[in-house]
Amino acid sequence: MDLRDLVEAAGHSARAVQMLNISGNFGGIPARMVRGSIDLFLELRELNLYRSVLGDVQGPLLPVEALDRLIHLEELDISHSTV
């Protein structure tokens, strides 16, 4: 399951998610999955990926274009991620 699966399972209401905390996820989340899914959460106010992102991606983990669309984002933690 990836973040896109979460959005599809929750239907349209997933776009209204305001807080996403996946910190300390023991299995880790592939960096490519974060990069490819983050712009689906348009109402995010808080995103916590502390110690949960693994792997490599070409370019930044969170592209500027995606961050620009997250106009409500107030808190972001991607520290201690292995990218």
pLDDT of residue 33: 84
pLDDT of residue 35: 87
This prediction's pTM = 0.79
pLDDT of residue 59: 86
C-alpha dihedral (69, 48, 28, 15), degrees to nearest 10: -40
* pLDDT profile of the chain (83 residues), mean per 10: 64 77 83 84 92 88 90 94 71
Sign, CA dihedral 3-73-67-14, equals positive
pLDDT of residue 19: 92
